Structure 1
Amino acid sequence: MEKIAAGFVLFRRASNHLEYLLLQTAYGKNHWSPPKGYVEQGESELDTAYRETLEESGINKSDIKVYEDTKRTLNYMVEGKPKIVHYWLAEVNDETDVIMSDEHQDFYWLQIQDACDLAEFKNMQDLLLEYDNFIKKSL
């Protein structure tokens, strides 16, 4: 059975550029990704994204603006099992502090190219680039 997760690709506006939040896991291969987590029974995917963002980064629902029409889905395999992750683009006030959970060991706010380099997986790189283009054209 496939696992379903949800999260936000968080960005903030720095003085003359955009920055994206990536968290480094404290387990496995220590990969970098936006905050996300598994959907719990009775919880909507969007509610999961809010909950996981708070749990993993300390960023509250009141600190972000979600662009609900930007939902994208990544499908990939983890340890031979299918995983589905739903993401939305969300803007964070640049005054917001990140408070990591024990699930992570580091975080960075990065410009798009550095975020793509650190993200490592092509599907995440493509998603970051898609959102970056959306922001620059639409917002």
Structure 2
Amino acid sequence: MVDVMESAGGIIYCVDNGEIKFFLIKRHSLAKKIERVAPKGKIEQGEQPQNTVSREISEEAGINQENIVVEEKVGDTFISLESEDKGVFKKNIQYFLVRYNGDFSDIKVDQVEGYLGYHKWATIQEVLGLIYYENLREIFRKAYNILKDRV
């Protein structure tokens, strides 16, 4: 039986000139293709998912934790993959809305953990065209539907 890794990620957003924008980073996937994703990572033992979100955003996206506010949970996704080097890999990912309050020029995405050092602020229409996985597109749709009533 394969264990399921518990992870948490952040759907980072800001409002720019009245328009909701979402933060995506570019990385190499386990399937060896380039994809755009939201920052996420493994929940460490004893760690709360919201703390994982803050830590992973800092590690993967180079965003200072003082510039973000982790808000409500948007939803979960479940992935099951098989790769040559890791075998069967199962992961449950909890996604939270994260408001970005900093300056755009402060973001420095490093080339670590498969990330390519690039990021993009995208409208919901752009996000839906850039994300490969339907379950992650659905998380972004839910996030947008929560936020559109606030803006």
In structure 2, distance between residues paired with 1:78 and 1:12: 32
Q: Distance in 2 between matches of 1:138 and 1:131?
A: 11
> What is residue 148 of structure 2 aligned with on the other side?
136
Q: Contact 2:12 / 2:99 at 8 angstroms: preserved in 1?
A: yes
Structure 2 gap segments, 5+ residues each? 83-87
> For 1:92, which of 100, 111, 122 is the aligned residue?
100
1:60 is displaced (CA, Å) by: 2.1
CA distance in 2, matches of 1:71, 1:78: 23
Deviation at 1:71, TM superposition (A): 4.1
Secondary structure of the equivalent of 1:31? Answer: strand
Query: 2:8: which partner in 1?
Result: 6
Instruction: Output one character per residue of 1:66-125: Cα deviation in whole Å (capped at 9) or x when no partner.
Output: 213x34211121224321111100110251422112231121110111011111110111
Query: More displaced, 40-49 or 123-132?
Result: 40-49
Cα pair 1:74 1:84 within 8 Å, conserved: yes
Query: Normalised by the size of structure 1, how large is the TM-score?
Result: 0.90
Distance (whole Å) between structure 2 residues aligned to residue 44 and residue 102 of structure 1 = 26
Please identify the structure whose Cα radius of gyration is greater.
Answer: 2
Instruction: Output the amino acid matched with 1:92.
Output: Y
SS at match of 2:121: strand
Instruction: Give the one of 72, 76, 84 matched to 1:73.
Output: 76
Q: Which runs of 5+ in 1 are unaligned?
A: none
The answer to whether the 8 A contact 1:14-1:94 is kept is no
Q: Is the 8 A contact 1:22 1:33 kept in 2?
A: yes
How far apart are residue 65 of structure 1 and its match?
1.9
The DSSP-based 3-state class of the residue aligned with 1:117 is: helix
Measured against aligned partners, the alpha-carbon deviations of 1:32-55 in whole angstroms (never above 9, x if no partner) come to 111111122232222111111000
- In structure 1, the partner of 2:85 is none
SS of 1:130's partner is: helix
- Specify the alignment match of 2:110 in structure 1: 101
Aligned residue pairs total 138
Identity rate, percent: 25
Mapped to 2, the partners of 1:114 and 1:94 lie a distance apart of 22
